[in-house]
Amino acid sequence: MDVMSDGVTVVLALKALCHAKSRLGDEYHPDADRERLVAAMFTDTVAAVRSAGHHDVVVVSPDPQVRDLTRRLGARAVSEPGGGLNAALAHGAAGADGTVVYLQADLPALRAESFAEAVAAAGRLPVAFVADRHGTGTALLAVAAGVAFTPAFGTDSAAAHRAGGAVELDPSGTRWPDLGCDVDTPDDLRAAVALGVGPRTDTAMLMPQSDAAHNHAE
């Protein structure tokens, strides 16, 4: 019998677009172009999750633009309370009665099948996670209903989650490479492109920077 409940709440957090993914700046100028790319990666991530099943999707952000986009994607938007990423994720999970799946918001290559398989695999365990492609960060953390476990996203989060008792679902990083490919740097983005990014990200990357800046200003 699966440990996790049938009810799944997926929680994502995204900072204000103007501050997001600054490490992409060397290759994505002006800022409006980077903001468009971040919004596109977020959109592809949420679209994959929603295609994977009838999950309750909650997005926590301080940015009204992100919250508006979240509602247009059919997810629930929540204002960020402050206190950093883990505080935002905990705020988004408040009130959830079933499984909570914490997910990175920048997975442009994510496929619905990979997400569904990972959630199903996590359903056999009280707490489980999928590391990022570097093996140090965390792309997904699933916590069963009634299990007390505090997310520790940030530097070396994979080690922190492992030390806390979470089971790593894909230690080799080969089962769901798209799920493990969150984007912080140009190298990460190139890896995602090699796997095949979603349509919004693809369009954002193809748009000339001047057009992106013009559209952002409208």
Identify the burial level of 183 via C-beta atoms within 10 angstroms of its C-beta, where 0-12 means exposed, 13-18 middle and 19 or more buried: buried
Answer whether 74's CB lies under 8 Å from 67's CB: no
Establish whether 174 is an annotated binding residue. Answer: no
Distance separating alpha carbons of residues 209 and 28, to the nearest angstrom? 8
Prior bond to 199 cis, omega within 30? no
User: Phi then psi for 14, rounded to 5 degrees?
Assistant: -140, 125
Establish whether 157 is an annotated binding residue. Answer: yes
Answer whether 183's CB lies under 8 Å from 205's CB: no
Establish whether 61 is an annotated binding residue. Answer: no
Q: Residues forming the annotated binding site?
A: 138, 154, 157
Q: Residues forming the annotated binding site for phosphoenolpyruvate?
A: 138, 154, 157
